[in-house]
C-alpha cells in the first residue's frame, strides 16, 4: 500500500511540475463525439481524399473550415504506434502499415491510427494518419512477397517529416509523438504500441517511459488503457511494475517475438468491432492481443504462418492487469522473498535453490519465466525433509503457492508455444508468459544489476531508493 500511495503522490507532483497552457488544454476529453459532430457526413467528406486534398495540412484545413475539428471531438479509440525501424525490420514494418491501411475503412468514426516511423539508419522520421485507400495491396504470405514491399506503396498522407537530430534523444522524440497524438486525436480509449527491437528493461529506461505515461495520465485524467509491446523481451515483471501506476493493461512477449509481430488486421478489428454489450472495450482488446498473436501463426490458416512457421514452438505472449500487479503480486513476491532470505542462510538449502537458478533455461538478458521458476522452487522446497531444517516447510510452501495464485490472477490472458506444455497443466504454478530477472551465472547478474536495480521492483521506497525484500534476496543468491 505504501508503494501505491507513493505513486499517487508522485503523479500529483508530476502533474504540478509539468504544466503548460498547451498541456492544461487537454486535461478534459471533448464532450462531443466525432460521430455526432460528423453525423450525416460520408466517409469521403471526413477522410483524407487525394482528389480534394493536396496534403495533410490541406485536409485539416478543409475539415476546420466546416467546423469539423478532429481535436475538438472524441472517438472511441486512438491507436498510437511508435515504430523504431532497423534495416532488418523494414519490410515487416511496411507489411504492418499496409495491413492497417487496408483495415481503416468503416472505422473512421471508431478509431484513428497514428504512426511515427523512425528509420534508424537514415534517421528520417515520418508521421502518418492512416486512411483506407482505393488500391489494396494483399498482405505478404511468403518471404519473397515480403521482399517486394516498399514504403512508396503507402497511400495514407504524411502528417510531418523531419530528420532526427543527434542532440535530441529518442526518449524526447517518443514523448513528443505521444503528447501530440493524445492532444490532436482525443479518444475514450487509448492504446500505445511500441514496435521494434526490444531490450527488456533497457528499452523502457531509454524511452523514459514511466515519465511519459505519467504525463498521459495528467493530460487525460485517467491512465493509458493498453500498452502493447510489439517487440522482444518486454513482458517482464521489472517492466510491468515500472509502468503499472499509469496503465490498465500491459501486453507483450517475455521471449523473442516473431519479426512478423502482431497481425494488425485482427488488432484493428478487435478495436473497431468490440464484443456486443461490452462495458469495457479496453478489457476486450487487451484480452484479445495474445490470442490474436498466437492464432496468426497457426499452421491451419494463420495469416502469418508462412512468414514464421517455427515460432509456434517458442511463442510467448500475455496481458497483465496493472492494478493486480501493484496491489497483490508485488506484495506477495516481497513477502515470499523475506521468508526465502531466512531459508537460504542454510547452506544446503541455499545450494538447492541455487541449482534451480543455474539449471533452468533463461532468456536474453538473464530473465526467466516467473511461473516456471516458482514451480521449480516449489518442487525443491517440497523435497526438503523436515529433519533437515528448523524452519516450517509448510509455511514456505504456502507462500510459494500463494504467489503463484496471485500471479495467475494478475494475468488477463496468456498465449504460449508448444514447448511450454507441461503434463500437469492444472498445477497452481505454471508457465506465466511473464519473466523476471534471475540469470544463471553470477557474471551475468553483475553485468546487468546496475541497470536493473533502478527498476521500481527493486525498491520498497522508490522516493528514498531503499531496496525491496525481493532485491535483497536476489542479491544474496549471487554473492
> Using one digit for the tens of pLDDT, what is the confidence trace for 117-174?
999 899 999 999 998 766 667 778 888 999 999 999 998 999 999 998 877 888 999 9
Same domain for 300 and 333, yes or no, is: no
- Give the end of a domain, one of 324, 355, 384: 324
Which three cell numbers mark 231?
517487440
HSE at residue 413, side-chain half, CA atoms within 13 A, is 19
Same domain for 270 and 337, yes or no, is: no
Same domain for 376 and 256, yes or no, is: no
Share of the chain above pLDDT 70, in %: 89
pLDDT digits (tens, 9 = 90+) for 206-249: 999 999 999 999 988 899 999 999 999 999 999 999 999 999 99
DSSP 336-393: HHHHHHHHTTSHHHHHHHHHHHHHS---TTSEEEHHHHHHHHHHHHHTS-GGG-SS-H
Per-residue confidence (pLDDT) for residue 389, from 0 to 100: 66
Same domain for 280 and 361, yes or no, is: no
User: What is the rounded average pLDDT for all residues in the chain?
Assistant: 88
Its domain, for residue 134, covers: 2-324
Give the C-alpha separation, 153 to 157, whole Å: 12
Same domain for 318 and 330, yes or no, is: no
Same domain for 66 and 201, yes or no, is: yes
- Give the end of a domain, one of 306, 324, 342: 324
pLDDT digits (tens, 9 = 90+) for 87-104: 999 999 999 998 888 877
How does strand 435-437 pair with strand 367-369? antiparallel
Query: Are 263 and 306 contacting, i.e. CB atoms less than 8 angstroms apart?
Result: no
DSSP SS3 for 468 = coil
Q: Which of 142-146, 202-206, 318-322 has the highest mean pLDDT?
A: 318-322
Per-residue confidence (pLDDT) for residue 162, from 0 to 100: 92
Name residue, grid cell 511540475: 17
How does strand 316-321 pair with strand 247-252? antiparallel
Share of the chain above pLDDT 90, in %: 64
pTM: 0.92
Using 50, 70 and 90 to split pLDDT, how confident is the model at 322? very high
Same domain for 37 and 17, yes or no, is: yes
Mean pLDDT computed over 7-32? 56
Mean pLDDT computed over 383-393? 72
Same domain for 175 and 207, yes or no, is: yes
User: Among 9-23, 249-263, 280-294, which is the least confidently predicted range?
Assistant: 9-23
pLDDT digits (tens, 9 = 90+) for 416-473: 999 997 665 568 899 999 999 999 999 999 999 988 988 999 987 766 668 899 999 9
Using 50, 70 and 90 to split pLDDT, how confident is the model at 31? confident
Query: Are 87 and 53 contacting, i.e. CB atoms less than 8 angstroms apart?
Result: no
Q: Which of residues 345 and 183 earns the better pLDDT score?
A: 183
Per-residue confidence (pLDDT) for residue 139, from 0 to 100: 77
- Binning the chain into helix, strand and coil, the percentages to the nearest 5 are 50, 15, 35
Q: Which of 426, 428, 416, 476 lies closest to 449, judged by CA?
A: 476
Same domain for 332 and 277, yes or no, is: no
Same domain for 356 and 320, yes or no, is: no
Give the C-alpha separation, 65 to 16, whole Å: 36
- Give the end of a domain, one of 301, 324, 347: 324
Domain count, the chain: 2
**Full strand arrangement of the beta sheet holding 411-416:** 158-163, 124-129, 111-119, 75-85, 187-195, 224-230, 247-252, 316-321, 411-416
Same domain for 262 and 364, yes or no, is: no
Same domain for 303 and 331, yes or no, is: no
- Asked if pLDDT for residue 1 goes beyond 50, the answer is no
Per-residue confidence (pLDDT) for residue 142, from 0 to 100: 85
Amino acid at each position: 500500500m505504501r508503494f501505491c500511495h507513493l505513486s499517487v503522490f508522485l503523479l500529483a507532483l508530476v502533474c504540478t511540475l509539468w504544466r503548460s497552457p498547451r498541456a492544461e488544454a487537454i486535461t478534459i476529453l471533448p464532450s462531443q463525439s466525432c460521430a455526432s459532430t460528423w453525423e450525416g457526413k460520408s466517409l469521403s467528406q471526413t477522410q483524407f481524399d487525394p482528389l480534394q486534398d493536396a496534403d495533410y495540412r490541406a485536409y485539416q484545413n478543409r475539415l476546420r473550415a466546416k467546423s469539423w475539428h478532429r481535436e475538438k471531438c472524441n472517438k472511441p479509440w486512438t491507436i498510437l504506434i511508435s515504430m523504431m525501424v532497423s534495416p532488418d525490420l523494414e519490410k515487416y514494418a511496411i507489411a504492418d502499415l499496409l495491413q492497417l491501411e487496408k483495415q481503416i475503412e468503416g472505422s473512421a468514426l471508431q478509431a484513428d491510427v497514428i504512426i511515427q516511423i523512425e528509420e534508424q539508419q537514415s534517421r528520417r522520421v515520418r508521421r502518418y494518419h492512416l486512411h483506407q485507400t482505393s488500391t489494396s495491396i494483399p498482405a505478404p504470405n511468403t518471404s519473397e512477397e515480403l521482399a517486394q514491399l516498399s514504403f512508396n506503396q503507402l497511400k495514407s498522407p504524411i502528417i510531418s517529416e523531419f530528420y532526427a537530430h543527434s542532440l535530441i534523444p529518442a526518449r524526447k522524440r517518443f514523448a513528443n509523438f505521444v503528447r501530440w497524438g493524445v492532444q490532436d486525436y482525443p479518444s475514450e480509449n487509448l492504446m500505445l504500441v511500441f514496435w521494434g527491437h526490444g531490450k527488456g528493461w533497457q528499452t523502457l529506461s531509454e524511452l523514459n517511459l514511466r515519465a511519459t505515461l505519467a504525463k498521459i495520465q495528467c493530460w487525460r485524467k485517467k491512465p493509458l488503457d493498453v500498452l502493447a509491446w510489439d517487440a522482444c523481451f518486454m513482458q517482464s515483471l521489472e517492466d510491468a511494475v515500472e509502468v503499472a501506476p499509469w496503465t490498465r493493461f500491459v501486453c507483450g512477449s517475455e521471449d523473442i517475438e516473431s519479426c512478423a509481430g502482431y497481425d494488425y488486421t485482427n488488432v484493428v478489428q478487435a478495436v473497431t468491432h468490440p464484443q456486443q454489450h461490452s462495458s469495457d472495450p479496453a478489457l476486450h482488446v487487451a484480452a484479445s492481443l495474445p490470442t490474436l498473436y498466437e492464432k496468426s501463426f497457426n499452421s491451419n490458416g494463420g495469416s502469418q504462418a508462412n512468414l514464421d512457421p517455427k515460432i509456434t514452438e517458442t511463442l510467448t505472449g500475455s496481458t497483465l492487469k496493472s492494478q493486480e500487479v501493484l496491489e497483490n503480486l508485488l506484495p506477495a513476491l516481497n513477502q515470499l522473498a523475506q521468508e526465502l532470505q531466512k531459508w537460504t542462510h542454510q547452506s544446503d538449502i541455499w545450494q538447492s535453490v541455487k541449482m534451480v537458478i543455474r539449471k533452468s533455461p533463461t532468456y536474453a538478458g538473464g530473465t526467466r519465466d516467473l511461473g516456471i521458476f516458482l514451480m521449480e522452487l516449489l518442487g525443491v522446497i517440497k523435497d526438503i525433509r523436515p529433519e533437515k531444517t528448523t524452519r516450517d516447510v509448510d509455511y514456505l510452501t504456502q507462500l510459494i503457492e500463494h504467489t503463484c495464485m496471485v500471479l495467475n490472477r494478475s494475468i488477463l490472458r496468456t498465449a504460449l508455444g508448444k514447448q511450454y506444455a507441461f503434463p500437469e497443466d492444472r498445477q497452481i504454478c505454471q508457465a506465466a508468459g511473464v519473466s523476471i530477472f534471475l540469470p544463471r551465472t553470477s557474471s551475468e547478474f553483475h553485468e546487468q544489476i546496475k541497470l536493473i536495480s533502478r527498476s521500481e521492483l527493486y525498491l520498497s521506497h522508490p522516493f528514498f531508493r531503499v531496496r525491496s525484500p525481493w532485491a535483497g534476496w536476489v542479491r544474496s543468491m549471487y554473492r
